[in-house]
Structure 1
Amino acid sequence: MKEFYRVMLGKGSMYAQECREQGFIGADFDIYQDLTDSLHEDWREFNKQFIPQYLEANPGKSKIAAGLSCGFLWTICKKIQVGDIVLSPDGKGKYFVGEVQSEYRYVPGAEQPHQRQVHWFEETIDRSEMSDSLKKSTGSIGTISQVSKYREELGGLIKGEVPKPVLISTDETIEDPAVFALEKHLEDFLVANWSQTPLGREYDIYQEEDNFGRQFPTDTGPIDILAISKDKNEILVVELKKGRASDSVVGQIQRYMGYIAEEIAEEHQRVSGVIIALEDDLRIRRALKVAPNIEFYRYEVKFDLIKS
């Protein structure tokens, strides 16, 4: 089955038109050598090899930024398969769409030397025609985001069909699709109003240039929100329950925290977690009794009618 990826082609899509005209996607990330013999099947091996090189070329960057950048590079060079579909914003409200045609190639001297050949379709996708959730996924900060869960909608958009809004979830761990939809909006609210929340007093959402802590990529899925303490000594994983089964949420946040601890955190940084849900959940509370580094928050929705 084809996978779908949103790929930024340079800061502010500065290389998008060139890539479309010359038939490729590409990247550099300050690593200028042929990677053909270094594209391990396990991206973690790739990161271990190239994070030191990235940090040497960018001494002011954090290990988080280095891990993200190397992960993005591996995705472009290795994870994306021939036949997968890529969407690249043109910087003017539209997305170029194409199918990957070749394996990795290295082009010395090019602005983006790490390349994959792409057959770009004549059709483009107008951002205004996307569903809100697809807009958020394709508009996320970062070089690459996987958007395969929107393959039906994207397939229709490529054919010129504007999707109708629906409330469904194909995730088998979702117990309540209505709560799932509500908590997708909660994620937007938290990001927009982070400084006014209790968490915002102690933590900032991770951000470094083009990297942002919303839908932060890991090897087991994206973290809803990744934050870092104001003293930089603690990394916080925030996961919204989103109508999912309790055991699924607890297991997922533990996997995310393990990934952050093993692959991202500096030696002096500890890793903590927060689960946020609409209703109190005894099963989550009991599970967290033996996970003291994870806290549980409940949120309230208030709605008033004010006569004017």
Structure 2
Amino acid sequence: MTRPAKSFYRVMLGRQSAHAAECIAGGFMGADFGIEQDLSGKLPDEWRQFNAAFIPVFLASRPGKSKIAAGLACGALWTVAKGIQAGDVVLSPDGAGRYHVGEVQGHYHYAPGQVLPHRRRVNWLPIAIDRAAMSEALRNSTGSLLTVANITDYHQEIEQFLAALPGQAAPNIVATDPVVEDPVAFAMEKHLEDFLVKNWSQTELARHFKIYEEDGELVGQQYGTDAGPIDILAVSKDSQRLLVVELKRGRASDVVVGQILRYMGYVKEQIAEAHQTVEGVIIALDDDQKLRWALLAVPSISFYRYQVSFKLIKH
């Protein structure tokens, strides 16, 4: 798939879109996270440098928060203030089932004493996309509970929405995924993820782990990282172990071992506390001999098979 010249993001304007109306009326987007200082001149090109400098600042004012929460907050703040470029497109929910669309126009500025003081100027377009009109894949991506989600993979669908004039019906679009060419297979993988999250308590993993939450919100699903999105990030009930879960439709090959090791390395380096270990789980319909050999050398990664049950009920 050809990548667009600009990127596309879903940005939450306050907790549960609380400040969406004010941002749209004022022509800006912003973030807070309790870091009460002007970040002008303090926004490096690499988010890792920003996190290294400001995670301690975040934790100093919130000693009860985890390093995972601090990394999420600082990473989102850097993305809003620096990572999103002028010309990029943002979709922001209004809490009523619609996503307002804007083009980022300005650089970072600080508005002390105001809501979402770390701001960027945005030209909000006279268009709102109904969530119900989106493909299931785009709904899943925009439904992430994280403050910022990169949805550039769905730029073709979004651009078709933008091509429709206000008042016109949105086109009927079937989204494609850059890796999964078969939309049915992609949907299967997303259904597997959603089903696992909703039924986590009934799985073997729930005996020791819970999906990571922050302030009562489930943010461990599609946990965004610089190494790519982690399907599920979980933490043990004693908070001593972090678990990276990678889901694969159909049969998993040894290629997935390198992928999950990349995610585990990121978690170990960037967000794990000194006392926490990092483990991995691959869940797929089946495996092969190459995967079994690879896993023999990596005892910190386990493999689980899933079973799909289909039943017809006559009424």
Superposed pair shares fold, TM > 0.5: yes
Alignment match of 2:128 (pick from 118, 124, 130):
124
Query: 1:129-158, CA deviations, whole angstroms, 9 ceiling, x for partnerless residues?
Result: 011121111111111111111111111122
Offset at residue 198 of structure 1 (A): 0.8
SS at match of 2:278: strand
**1:80 aligned to 43, 64, 84, which one?**
84
1:237 to 241, 244, 250: 244
SS at 1:38 equivalent: coil
Is it true that 1:64 corresponds to 2:68 in the alignment?
Answer: yes
Partner of residue 249, structure 1: 256
> 1:103: which partner in 2?
107
Cα distance change, pair 177–16 in 1 and its aligned pair in 2 (3 A): closer
Residue type at the aligned position of 2:120: R
Deviations 1:155-186 (A, max 9, x none): 112233333336x4432xx5876444312210
**SS, match of residue 37 in structure 1:** coil
- Partner residue, 1:195: 201
* Contact 1:23-1:118 at 8 Å conserved across structures: yes
How many percent of aligned residue pairs carry the same amino acid?
A: 57
| 1:298 partnered with 2:290 | no
**What amino acid maps onto 1:91 in structure 2?**
G
Higher mean C-alpha deviation, range 246-255 or range 101-110: 246-255
Root-mean-square deviation over aligned CA pairs? 1.7
Match of 2:167 in 1: none
User: Post-superposition shift, 1:211?
Assistant: 5.8
Contact 2:253 2:287 in 1 (8 A): no
Matches for 1:17-166 after TM superposition, within 5 Å:
17-160=21-164, 161-165=170-174
The amino acid across from 1:170 in the alignment is P
Partner in structure 1 of residue 290 of structure 2: 283
Which of 224, 227, 230 does residue 220 from structure 1 map onto? Answer: 227
Letter in 1 for 2:201: S
Q: Does residue 1:170 correspond to 2:188, yes or no? A: no
User: 1:112: Cα distance to partner?
Assistant: 1.4
Report the Cα offset of residue 252 of structure 1: 1.3
SS, match of residue 41 in structure 2: helix
User: What residue is the counterpart of 1:16 in the other structure?
Assistant: 20
> Could you tell me whether the CA contact under 8 Å between 2:252 and 2:286 is conserved in 1?
no
Whole-Å separation in 2 of the counterparts to 1:276 and 1:177: 20
Cα separation, partners in 2 of 1:243 and 1:77, compared to 1, 3 Å: farther
Residue segments in structure 1 that go unaligned for 5+ positions in a row:
none
Task: Tell me how far apart the structure 1 counterparts of residues 314 and 114 of structure 2 sit (CA, whole Å).
Answer: 63
Task: Report the number of matched residues.
Answer: 305
